[in-house]
A and B are shown apart, each in its own frame.
Chain A
Amino acid sequence: MVKKTYRVEGMHCPNCAMNVESIEDDLPGIKQISASYQKGQMVVEFDEAKVSEAQILATLEKRGYQAFPA
């Protein structure tokens, strides 16, 4: 289990943070995700055996957000 912080681009309102967090519905390997519009970042705790960082970033990109390791 790893916990990483990412800078997220493309969030233009607080509800975008909700959209970002909703990737946990698609990726069961995510244990916990918390996004903040105000800070422009997200903290993800995930199981590397079940989901890769690349998968997380690709899922986010499909929803219109780009994440970079902070």
Chain B
Amino acid sequence: MNQLIVAFITGLTTGGLSCLAVQGGLLASSLEQQLEQQLDLQIEQEIAARRAHRSGKKRSRILVHPRLALPILLFLAAKLAAYTLLGFLLGALGSVLQLNAITRAILLIAVGIFMAGNALRMFNVHPIFRYFAVEPPKFITRYIRRTAKNRESFFAPLFLGALTVFIPCGVTQAMMAVAVGTGSALQGAVLMFAFILGTSPVFFLIAYLAMQLGARMEKWFMRFVAVVILLLGLVSVNSGLTLMGSPLSVTNMIQAAKASQPDLASAPVPQSDGVTLYLSAGNSGYAPRVLHARADTPITLNVVTNRTYSCSQAFVIPALGVEKLLPDSGTETISIPAQTAGTVMRFSCSMGMYTGKIIFDQ
């Protein structure tokens, strides 16, 4: 759910304007007919007003409200449907790839590098970063261009809205990569739906008010988008590192620094005795974050949930290849083979957001 809210807000803030900068031309093409009609009407009214002025009548200015709302809405609805379908396919692709914790970690890191590369491209750091942008094949761009030219009433906005799927902006491409990472067709579809829905109000508002980003404003805006993408990219790399159990991830470093702080347990769990361990998986993470276990002895880890509906339900121990989807309320028992003294075994949720570790002592 959190991921959907983030997707929606990303769409609402950066995605909408970034997509408009890229796909605005297509929308303008589909609205061209309506705009031409508006212009003709305005010219006619202007001429009529001049005649009236010459004949001594009071000059009145009549504002024209063309029927722009409907084609824009059709364009956006088609776009929403097309991207939801794309999210479904990307999620399905992710599920076919049978993502285990490590491949998901690699994917997250790759997505992060892709996003960071795109951000550096937007900053114009070096032309080499242009290769991070995906160029649609020429025959597709040519086809889109010709369709935009030969539009017919309401079919054009619908069709062109759907065609935007082939010319995603940088933020959308990043979101598409996240959709693959969900590993589920349904989640991928819902994620893309939330994101595109978020972009729609900005798209609609700016298109309707026929405002255009001035060159100066666009430059600053693109920088802002680049910073956001860069941050999201770094978060993604960090999640990947956490999921790999790497102590180098920021999450694990912060956790190490905060080790002395009290833990927030949602489900009360019995005291661990070193051989039988109890871990509470709550809505805001795992508690205790550090468990101590006896070395050279097989251990039983009981992960307890109590009305847990967050990503902490997807429990992962990378070192053991353990991946469990915990029940929302109940106990999942995991057997851990004997470990040597000094071993630090990290666990996390499947997205690497919530973490903790088991330290094996003598």
Partners in one complex: yes
Please state if B130 and A18 are interface contacts (CB–CB under 8 Å): no
Please state if B130 and A17 are interface contacts (CB–CB under 8 Å): no
| A side interface size, CB within 8 A | 16
Please state if B149 and A17 are interface contacts (CB–CB under 8 Å): no
Within 1-57 of A, Cβ neighbours of B (below 8 Å) are at 12-15, 17-19, 21-22, 25, 34, 36-38, 40
In Å, the complex CA distance between A19 and B167 comes to 12
In Å, the complex CA distance between A66 and B135 comes to 20
Take A13-B169, A15-B22 as given contacts and tell me if A21 and B142 are in contact as well, using a CB distance cutoff of 8 Å.
yes
Q: Kindly name the residue among A13, A36, A37 whose own CB sees the greatest number of chain B CB atoms within 10 A.
A: A13
Chain B interface size band reads 20 to 34
The answer to whether B131 has its CB under 8 Å from any CB of chain A is yes
Q: Kindly name the residue among A15, A22, A38 whose own CB sees the greatest number of chain B CB atoms within 10 A.
A: A15
Closest approach, in angstroms, between the C-beta of A46 and any C-beta of chain B? 17
Please state if B149 and A15 are interface contacts (CB–CB under 8 Å): no
**Residues in chain A near residue B169, CB distance under 8 A:** 13
29 A-B pairs within 8 Å (CB atoms) are namely: A12-B122, A13-B21, A13-B22, A13-B133, A13-B170, A14-B133, A14-B134, A14-B136, A15-B22, A15-B23, A15-B141, A17-B135, A17-B141, A18-B25, A18-B141, A18-B145, A21-B142, A21-B145, A25-B149, A34-B138, A36-B135, A37-B130, A37-B135, A38-B130, A38-B131, A38-B133, A40-B127, A40-B130, A64-B215
B-contacting residues of A (Cβ < 8 Å)?
12-15, 17-19, 21-22, 25, 34, 36-38, 40, 64
